[in-house]
Amino acid sequence: MKNPVIIFGANALGRSVKEIFDKNGVVVYGFLDDDKKLHQKEIDDATVLGATDDDGFLKLIGKKCEAFIATDDNKLRKNLVKMVQEVRHLQPVNAVHPQAQISAKAEIGYGNFFDCAAYLGPGSKTGSHCLIHANVFIGAETTLGDFVQIGVGSNINSGVIIEDEAFIGSGVTIVSGVNIGKGARIGAGSVVIASVKPGETVFGNPAQPIK
């Protein structure tokens, strides 16, 4: 990546993204964040330049800078992605930790976060704007939609389908062949042995719907 990156979000996720870019030798131009208390402060050797709608800095995106959206609030994340795509005519870049392992036979979209020791198996497909945290295992021929979040240490076996905007908590195991519906939520530590309906929340071992 030749151009520097502007990170949207000076939070814990933003700091993790900054470290990934640092390790990959990518220059971070600065952060944009809507918390005015952070403006002009320095975080990990990068300045919080202004708000996420500050046109003075937004105009750099697509010309001199790339962009990464670092927020785990899916609604905000979707709005910021839409703004970058429609106003700046740019796809956010991927942030891939150098210790992540992505098969040469895997497919990934745009604006994804892959933290330390994340693994993507051959034939797996990841959409765009997903957050894959540390030590996540994603088996062969597994498919992730857009805006999927998977917590630390989760184990997604082969052939699983996870639809758009699903949330998988930390330490979850999903057995092979299961489908996770759009917007479903899987509680931390759960073992999922059956498909989960769109919008459903499940928890436990074996995971059961929460009413």
Q: What is the dihedral of CA 165, 166, 171, 175, to 10 degrees?
A: -140
pLDDT at 153: 98
Q: How far apart are CA 163 and CA 158, in angstroms?
A: 15
Is the pLDDT confidence value at 63 over 90? no
The CA distances from residue 204 to 146, 151, 191, 209, in Å, are 25, 16, 6, 9
pLDDT at 36: 96
pLDDT at 114: 98
Please state, rounded to an integer, the average pLDDT across all residues of the chain: 97
% pLDDT > 70, the chain: 100
Least confident of 52-56, 120-124, 131-135, 172-176: 52-56
Beta strands in 119-207 (DSSP E): 119-120, 125-126, 131-132, 137-138, 143-144, 149-150, 155-156, 161-162, 167-168, 173-174, 179-180, 185-186, 191-192, 201-203
Is the pLDDT confidence value at 188 over 90? yes
Is the pLDDT confidence value at 93 over 80? yes
pLDDT at 187: 98
Is the pLDDT confidence value at 204 over 80? yes
Q: Which residue segments constitute the domains of the chain, with CATH numbers given?
A: 5-93 (3.40.50.20), 94-201 (2.160.10.10)
Dump pLDDT digits (tens) for 98-157.
999 999 999 999 999 999 999 999 999 999 999 999 999 999 999 999 999 999 999 999
pLDDT at 193: 98
pTM across the whole model: 0.96
Tell me the sheet residues that pair with 155. Answer: 137, 173
Average pLDDT over residues 10-25: 97
pLDDT at 102: 97
pLDDT at 2: 83
Q: How many C-beta atoms surround the C-beta of residue 185 within 10 A?
A: 19
